[in-house]
Amino acid sequence: MMVIKGSKKFFDGKRIDNYNAGSQEKSKWIRNTNQALSKYIFLSQEENTPHTPESYETGILDAIEKGDVEALKRRSKEPVNGRVGILSKDPIRQLKYIAVASGSLFARAAVRGGLDHETACSISDVFVQQADLLTDSEELIALISCMSVYFCEQVAEHHSRNRYTHQIKICCEHIQKNLHGNITLSVLSEICKLSPRRLSKKFREETGMPIVDYIHTAKMKEAAFLLKYTTFSLIEISNFLNYSSQGYFSGTFKKLYKISPLQYRTFKEKAI
C-alpha cells in the first residue's frame, strides 16, 4: 500500500521521491496516445465493430441499483451487438481487466441502490482478488457473472430491510454489523430508544419473527457463507459468531438448514 508522509511517498516502507512529469514527458504520452487512438478508432470503423452499446451496460447497472435479480438475469441473456473494448491482447489478462472494471461499476451501482460504501468496496475487492488467481477463461466469465448477481442480491436484501420503520431498521443494521459479538436486547433497546418490551413487540410485528430468531438467522447465514467460501473449522466459525459451544452452534444451524454444518460444507464443495 502506498501512503503519503510529508512530501514523500512510501511504498512498502521504501521512500519514493515525488515525480512531476515535465512538458517533454507529457508531450510524449499525449503524442503516443493520439497516434494509438487514431489507429484504434480507424480500425473499429473500418471493421464496423463498435463497442458494446451504452444501453446494455446501463441496463445491467440499473438492475443492480434496483436490486432486481430477475431483470439482471434477463438483461444478461439478451443478444448484444458490438464488442467489449480491447484492454489486453492476452485473453486471460483481458478478462481480468474486465473483472476489475466490472467490480468498480457494480460497486458504484450498488451504492446508488443504498448499499453502504464500505461493504460495496469490500465485495468488489474480494471478487477481483479471486479473479486475479484464475487462469481459465470460462471460470473468469462465470465469476464476473456471479459478481453482478451477488451485488444485485445484496441491494435487494438492503431494500427488504428498508421497508421497516427507522427504529427497526437501526436495530437490524446493528445486528448485521455485530454478528461476531454478543447482541443483547438491552443494547438494542438503548440504540432504538424503545423499552425492551416495546422493541420486542414492534420488531416481531414488522419482521415477522422474534429478535432472538432474527439474530440466529443472520448469524447462520454468515456461518453458511464461511462454510462455503472459507476453510475455517467449525469450532473457529462457532467462536467467530460468539456461540457458547460448537454443539449449540451446530444445533442452531441444523434447525435452519435441516443439515449439519459439516454436511452443508461437504454438499457445497461437491456442488462447486
Q: Could you list the pLDDT tens digit for every one of the 272 residues in the chain?
A: 333 334 444 444 455 455 455 677 778 888 888 888 887 787 777 777 778 888 889 999 999 999 999 999 898 888 878 788 889 999 999 999 999 999 999 999 999 998 889 889 999 998 999 999 999 999 999 999 999 999 999 999 888 877 889 899 899 989 988 999 999 999 999 999 999 999 999 999 999 999 999 999 999 999 998 898 788 999 999 999 999 999 999 999 999 999 999 999 987 655 54
pTM for the full predicted model: 0.61
Q: Which residues does residue 51 pair with via DSSP β-bridges, in sequence order?
A: 83
107: number of Cβ within 10 Å: 23
pLDDT of residue 21: 56
Identify the residue whose cell numbers are 512510501: 10
C-alpha cell at 107: 460497486
pLDDT of residue 28: 81
pLDDT of residue 46: 74
pLDDT of residue 22: 64
pLDDT of residue 61: 96
Start-to-end CA distance of the chain, whole Å, equals: 33
Q: Residue 6: which residues within 8 A CB-CB, separation 6 or more?
A: none
